[in-house]
Every structure is written in C-alpha cells, then in structure tokens.
Amino acid sequence: MSRVFITGIGAITPIGIGREGLWEGATSGRRGVRAIDRFDTSEMRSKVAGQVDDFDATAFLDRKQAQRTERFSQFAISAARMAFDDAGMRLSGDHDDIGAWIGTALGGVVFAESQYKNYAEHGLRGVHPTLALNVFGASSCCNVAIHFGLHGPTQSNSNSCAAGAVAIGDAFRAVRDGVCRAALAGGVEAPLAPLTFGAFDIIKSMSTRNADPASASRPFDAGRDGFVMSEAASMLLLEREEDVIARGATPYAEIAGYALTNDGEHMTAPRDDGREAAKAMLRALAEARVSPDEVDHVNAHGSATPLNDSTESRAIRAVLGAAADRIIVSGTKGMTGHALGATGAIEAALCAMCIKESTVVPTINLEMPGPDCDLRYSPEVATPLKQNVVLSNSFGFGGLNAALVFKSA
C-alpha cells in the first residue's frame, strides 16, 4: 500500500473559481449567496441560492465540446482541467493508470428539466439529441475520461450530500491499494432550476431568510432556519507518494482515513443521538492511525438546518471528548451555501489548503451558537493555526455519514 497525497485542486464555486479563487474567497469570508435571478421564485418560500455567475465553459473547452455538454459536465471537465494544471501534470495520449471518481446528488437533472419543457411544448422534435447522454450521473466522470484520455476506473456515486466525500474516499483507497496510479476525485452539482429547487422548497428544508441573502446560510447559529442550495464543483488530483517524489511535486496534504456509515433510520432527519455519524468519524481516524485528541481542526458539515447542526455537534463532542473544548471547528456553508453532492469535495479542498497554509477559514453568519451547538467554532476571520490532522464531515439525505481525515504532508 502507498501513501496518497493531494497534488492538484480545481474548483468552481460561488465564492471563487480555481484553487486561488476558492482560497481567497474563503479566507476573506466572502458570502456567495444572493437572490436567485435564474428563474421565477414567486411561488417559492426560499428565494436565495449560491449561484456561480462568472463561469465561462469556453475558457476550458473548445466551442464544439461546450455545445455537446451541459453545465453539469462542463463543471466536471473544467474543474478537472484546473486540478491537472495546478498539479503541473501535463497529459498526452492515453492513460491506463489514472481513474476518476465523481460524486453528485442530482447529476444532469436540470438539463432534463429544461428538455421536459421543450417536450411539452414541441414534442420529441423539441428535445435536444444529447439528452440521454447528459442526464445520468456518470456523464461527469465519463466526459472527464473522454476529454483527458483516462482509461483507469471511472465511477460516479449519488450518495446525496455526502457524494463528493465518498468519491474522494473511494479514490483514496483505490490509489493506496494500487488499483490505479493516480485519480481525479471530487463532486459536481448544478441544481439551480425551478422544479429541482422547488422540490426541496416543498419539504421546507431551505432557508427563507430572503430579505438578507448574504446571511441566510447560518451554520450552528441559533437563528438558522435551513440550508441554502448552491451549485459548484471541486476536483482533487490524488497521487501515490512515489510519484509525488519522482515528479518533484509539492503536495497540499495527505489523505489518511475514510469511513462511511448509515443511520438506517430516516430519509431526511438525522439519528438524534448522532451515533452513526460519530462511528464514521472514529473509523476514519482509526484508519488514519490517529487518536481523537490528535485532531487539530474539524471541518463540520454544518448544513445550517435545525436538526443536523445540533446532531453533528453532539456527534463531534462524543468523538473528541474533553478535547472538544479546545479543538477548533469550522463550517464553510455560510460562504458557499450547500452544493449538495459537491460540498464535501469543496471542503476537502479547503481542508488541504488549511493544512498547507496553516490557516483555519472562518465560520460566517454564526452570531450566537444554538443551545445544542456547544463547540469551539472558528471566528469570522481567517485564523492562523498549524494543523497536522484535520477531520472533515459530510452528511446526506438517507442517513449517510462520511468522514475524511487529512494529515500534513
């Protein structure tokens, strides 16, 4: 088995594009949530989202490729390109030993939504001929493989809001165990369309703080009232230790542990005692061969929903014990919103950069922690902190609990 390092980061988020854009946005506390202008929200309770308004697909794909793909796959290819470039890896020809693992909650469902409208108005002649090729979740990793000539394993998962973390965890193990030499791993989500957005609005899971969009996403705050949906993509390049050394690459961090559990109890509500979430954290730490009191920083899922944040707080405290009073916890969704299947990958990228830059990113819009959220949260400004071990949580509908452990490289 080989140690596995993150050597490249590509990102498309509401607070910045590219590794540098994401890091600058996060460390400056930029708020990426605003009033939706993509579609009519007059019938909806929630009217805010994290939109990416400065993405240009033709900056990463030629015009013909951009026309053949829709936003979901464009995000994937573009973030992958940035990850390769950031790692200084130049690809040419075929690559039998590089794979791609990409998580997404909804895949190309927004493109399908637009085509259903065309079908209703014009019949089959109004439907785009690439619909069948763009709607399924694996279109992201398949388009990435085709675009870059990757012939290693390609896998997509739809593990709701834990999907990006699951993809990174699975890719980490594949590289570690010699299934492939390197892997692109991350998450992609482009869910902003009326029916898709409205489906979450109907179940009253999203914030209705419409008068002040920038403060709508409030991880762990007493006034939190739901998550804020956003679109984003984040891709990491994972490489074996021997290849990192041979290339003379400078890694951001090592991936050392991963675990996945399920509450097995409810589709939308977390298990009240947080037992399975805690179990995921403990198993990931055990795989990384570190004890809970060696953790320097916890990147929390922090969805800003009333139930999830209090449950996660209990789970974190159960894992860390007395150390929970000193270990800093951050929640980034106050800045980025909640990008569903991409969110764990965005936060993995930030964890890696936090380690490399000895900095903890701020927790935005946390004015007063809720009564059940009694942890030591990062302030609203970036904070210097040397970190040897970082634990990152990603939870999702269906009771999914994923945890990743990162170490200093």
User: Residue ranges per domain, the chain?
Assistant: 4-247, 256-408
**pLDDT for the residue 331:** 98
299 bridge partner residues = 330, 392
Domain pair 4-247 / 256-408, same fold: yes
Residue 338 annotated among the catalytic residues of the structure? yes
**pLDDT for the residue 384:** 98
CATH number assigned to the domain with residue range 256-408, chosen from the 4 options 3.40.30.10, 3.40.47.10, 3.20.20.450, 3.40.50.1820: 3.40.47.10
**pLDDT for the residue 94:** 82
pTM over 0.95: yes
Pick the catalytic residue from 95, 147, 297, 301: 301
Pick the catalytic residue from 95, 142, 147, 161: 161
**pLDDT for the residue 67:** 87
CA-wise closest residue to 308 among 279, 269, 253:
269
Pick the catalytic residue from 95, 338, 351, 373: 338
What architecture does CATH give domain 4-247? 3-Layer(aba) Sandwich (3.40)
**pLDDT for the residue 17:** 98
**pLDDT for the residue 27:** 98
**pLDDT for the residue 322:** 95
156 bridge partner residues = 102
pLDDT tens track, the chain, 409 positions: 899 999 999 999 999 999 999 999 999 999 999 999 999 999 999 999 999 999 999 999 998 888 889 999 999 999 999 999 999 998 877 889 999 999 999 999 999 999 998 999 999 999 999 999 888 889 999 999 999 999 999 999 999 999 999 999 999 999 999 999 999 999 999 999 999 999 999 999 999 999 999 999 999 999 999 999 999 999 999 999 999 999 999 999 999 999 999 999 999 999 999 999 999 999 999 999 999 999 999 999 999 999 999 999 999 999 999 999 999 999 999 999 999 999 999 999 999 999 999 999 999 999 999 999 999 999 999 999 999 999 999 999 999 999 999 999 9
Task: Please provide residue 85's backbone torsions phi and psi, each rounded to the nearest 5 degrees.
Answer: -65, -40
**pLDDT for the residue 142:** 95
**pLDDT for the residue 91:** 85
Tokens of 209: 């703080």
Write the secondary structure of the chain as one string of H (helix), E (strand) and C (coil). Answer: CCCEEEEEEEEEECCEEHHHHHHHHHHCCCCCEEECCCCCCCCCCCCEEECCCCCCHHHCCCHHHHHHCCHHHHHHHHHHHHHHHHHCCCCCCCECCEEEEEECCCCCHHHHHHHHHHHHHHHHHHCCCCHHHHCCCCHHHHHHHHHHCECCCEEEECCHHHHHHHHHHHHHHHHHCCCCCEEEEEEEECCCCHHHHHHHHHCCCECCCCCCHHHCCCCCECCCCCECEECEEEEEEEEEHHHHHHHCCCCCEEEEEEEEEECCCCCCCCCCCCHHHHHHHHHHHHHHCCCHHHCCEEECCCCCCHHHHHHHHHHHHHHHHHHHHCCEEECCHHHHCECHHHHHHHHHHHHHHHHHHCEECCCCCCCCECCCCCCEECCCCCEECCCCEEEEEEEECCCEEEEEEEEEC
Residue 301 annotated among the catalytic residues of the structure? yes
Determine the distance from the C-alpha atom of residue 375 to the mean position of all C-alpha atoms in its chain, rounded to a whole number: 23
Residue 122 annotated among the catalytic residues of the structure? no
CA-wise closest residue to 407 among 296, 259, 301, 329:
296
